[in-house]
Amino acid sequence: GTSTAIARSSSMGGSIRLVSTLGSGAVFIVDLPLPEDESRAEPAPSDTLAGPERPILVVEDDGDTLEAAVEILRSAGYRISTAADGWQALESVRQERPRLIVLDLSMPVMDGRQFLTELRRDRRLSSIPVVLMSADGHLKDKATALGSVAYVEKPVDMDLLLATVERHTRLH
């Protein structure tokens, strides 16, 4: 079934990739080039869903989850930055203040709780809204205690993640 689609997209200069997360399903990513059209203008930044130029920062150490989250958010028009742990996330936030952070709690080097503690200590960064994304038990209670604006449980329903990001980027 999929071999015909893969061959067809390849012959058109595109590709099909699969991102699968055990227990939560699969996402097929289809990339096809658009026909070249000199008259087609690039949309102005205000015409995209991303609104302001500030990115969404996705902090996740699991490569498959990170890739799926980035794909769904980029496909909706958001500019995305990524980090694999809390330390990288702090460096990223200090270089370019994101409009929202999607944060895993369990990561190496510096976990999500430590990251949030450091983020909240900096007056310039403490107001950035954070959406927790974790498999930790009692996530609702943890999200409230940690001051996040929302949470999404793992395995992540990518449609729910997108809806959550859209809701909170409109509000902030």
Per-residue pLDDT of the chain (172 residues; tens, 9 = 90+): 555 555 555 656 777 766 666 776 666 666 666 655 443 444 333 333 344 467 999 999 999 999 999 999 999 999 999 999 999 999 999 999 999 999 999 998 899 999 999 999 999 999 999 999 999 888 899 998 999 999 999 999 999 999 999 999 986 5
Is the CB of residue 90 less than 8 Å from the CB of residue 110? Answer: yes
Distance, CA of 16 to CA of 3 (rounded, Å):
10
Residue 41's pLDDT is 40
- Global pTM? 0.69
Residue 168's pLDDT is 93
Residue 64 carries which side chain, given as an amino acid letter?
D
Residue 34's pLDDT is 61
Residue 50's pLDDT is 42
Distance, CA of 105 to CA of 87 (rounded, Å):
13
